[in-house]
Amino acid sequence: MSLRINDEAPDFTAETTQGTINFHEWIGDGWAILFSHPKDFTPVCTTELGTMAGLEGEFQKRGAKIIGLSVDPASSHAKWAIDIEETQGHKVNYPMIGDPELKVAKLYNMLPADAGNTSEGRTPAGNAAVRTVFVIGPDKRIKLMLAYPMSTGRNFDEIIRVLDSIQLTTKHKVSTPANWKNGDTVILAGTVSDEEGQKLYPDSFKKINSYIRTVAQPK
């Protein structure tokens, strides 16, 4: 079955570079970013893992853990981490899941159903589907799903932007417009009346038309 926004993130137990984890227990009471890559020791993936290593502190500020995954074994990840640090300038301190039997990749629909049952003999081209991102909330439900093609490295600043939006809109009755950045004006939720909006945000409430009302970003 395909996963959808607000589905419970499938739980699993897996080997990682930091030992065996149970995913839901590992998430705990915070947020989690699960991101997969096609294959160890490949150029685009190396830049991605290095970028996430450099951004880990930003995710921590937002109460979010990060965890990587590929269908290579955890022992391969550990060796690759040396290259990542040497070439990208950031040490990988977050765990990387080894998924050589494709169990997690299939659980999260990262691979087609006919992908087989092992990573043995697979090439980067054969793993094209495995470049995905899941943002998972403290309630263990999926808040965001993104999939990227093989040739395109991800913009992880965008993942932080979306996480900021999700956390803001979970707390307040607002939405964020196109190209919103943290601190920008936001859109008042349709469930909030004009009168309530004016009362809540007397200094910034602005009515554009009957269904677009903007306010300053709530604190």
143 and 38 share a domain? yes
pTM: 0.91
What's the whole-number mean pLDDT along residues 102-107?
A: 91
136 and 205 share a domain? no
90 and 194 share a domain? no
pLDDT band at 22 (very low <50, low <70, confident <90, very high): very high
Identify the CA nearest to 16 among candidates 76, 64, 57, 61. 76
What's the whole-number mean pLDDT along residues 155-160?
A: 96
- Cα four-point dihedral sign 178, 184, 189, 194: negative
CA separation for the pair 35, 180 (Å, rounded):
23
Q: What is the pLDDT of residue 128?
A: 54
CA separation for the pair 112, 134 (Å, rounded):
17
42 and 132 share a domain? yes
- Cα four-point dihedral sign 82, 85, 91, 92: negative
Are 42 and 72 in contact by the 8 Å Cβ rule? The answer is: no
Say if 161 falls within a structural domain: no
Domain limits for position 195: 172-215
What's the whole-number mean pLDDT along residues 189-201?
A: 96
Residues annotated catalytic, as ranges? 45
Are 56 and 93 in contact by the 8 Å Cβ rule? The answer is: yes
60 and 141 share a domain? yes
Say if 158 falls within a structural domain: no
Q: What is the pLDDT of residue 161?
A: 98
Q: What is the pLDDT of residue 193?
A: 96
Are 153 and 48 in contact by the 8 Å Cβ rule? The answer is: yes
Q: What is the pLDDT of residue 218?
A: 95
184 and 108 share a domain? no
- The domain tally of the chain equals 2
Say if 1 falls within a structural domain: no
49 and 84 share a domain? yes
Say if 119 falls within a structural domain: yes
Say if 2 falls within a structural domain: no
Say if 112 falls within a structural domain: yes
> CATH no. for residue 138?
3.40.30.10
110 and 38 share a domain? yes
